[in-house]
Copies of this chain bind each other. A is one copy, B any other.
Amino acid sequence: MNVKTAIESRRSVKAFDPAHRISEVEVRELLGQAMFAPTAFNIQNWRFVMVDDPALRQEIRKVAWDQSQVTDASLLLVMCADLKAWEKKPERYWRNVDAPVRDFMVPAIHQYYVGKEQVQRDEAMRSCGLAGMALMLTAQEMGYDTCPMDGFDFDAVGKLIQLPDDHVISFMLAVGRGIQPPFPRGGQLEPDEVVVHDRFR
């Protein structure tokens, strides 16, 4: 499937076949493609929590507006990020380059993030967005439907997955076999409402 078709045909689907099982190979492929998404300074700050345990899915559903995709999707991912990835052995993000490049990058990473809590959080959300789109388009190509979600109690889901204090949830992503057509598009803005030339006016 080409990129254009994948983007245009991807729609958020809410009803999934609960009997469908996704294979380990497919899951590996989906996560592997997400890991090709770019991150600033290559800090790879995303952490993908794959929720397999049916009891845990039920608990999450209770704090996610009782949405059926939480339990019925073949794959449920909580897209998280480590806010402190930048300071956890950052030399590993540049281990394959020449020493002078690494010796430049590692202090630059520190300098960029140290003491800047909002910058760290913005990076978390941004990285998960980039990776999430790669994952959804890969799923589309594999014949799956997806549903990105932020309609849930973030704190409650964080507790359920034992989210570390220095991590944050960006959104959840359900992947599976859709069993209902998506709703028609709600109302798309025109390009001139979204695209700005040079400066806002």
Residues of A in contact with B (beta carbons under 8 Å apart): 1-4, 6-8, 10, 12, 28, 31-33, 35-38, 40, 42, 44, 46-53, 56, 80, 92-97, 101, 105, 112, 118, 121-123, 125-134, 136-138, 140-141, 148, 150-151, 160-164, 167, 170-171, 183-189, 191, 194-201
Instruction: Give 10 nearest A-B pairs by CB, closest first.
Output: A129-B129, A125-B125, A133-B133, A95-B187, A3-B141, A42-B186, A162-B199, A126-B129, A129-B130, A94-B186
Most buried by B among A101, A129, A141, A201: A129
Q: Are A44 and B1 interface neighbours, CB within 8 A?
A: no
Tell whether, in the assembled complex, residue B7 and residue A33 are in contact, meaning their CB atoms are under 8 Å apart: yes
Residue of B nearest to A65 (CB): B108
Option from B2, B53, B96, B188 in Cβ contact (under 8 Å) with A44: B188
A66–chain B nearest beta-carbon distance, Å: 14
Complex contact A194–B2 (CB within 8 A): no
CA distance A133 to B37 in the complex (A): 8
Contacts of A2 in B (CB 8 A): 1-3, 141
Asked whether, in the complex, the Cβ of A195 is within 8 Å of the Cβ of B50, the reply is yes
Q: In the complex the two chains form, is A96's CB within 8 Å of B186's CB? A: yes
> Are A188 and B132 in touch, CB under 8 angstroms?
no
Give the chain B neighbours of A163 by CB distance below 8 A. Answer: 200
* Cross-interface CB contact of A188 among B7, B35, B170, cutoff 8 Å: B35
Contact A126 B171 (CB under 8 A): yes
* Alpha-carbon distance A131/B112, docked complex (angstroms): 24
Supply 4 further A-B pairs (C-beta < 8 A) apart from A1-B3, A97-B184, A161-B196: A31-B195, A32-B191, A132-B133, A133-B137
Are A134 and B191 in contact, CB atoms less than 8 angstroms apart? no
CB distance from A26 to the nearest CB of B (A): 13
* Contact pick for A191, options B28, B49, B196, CB 8 Å: B28
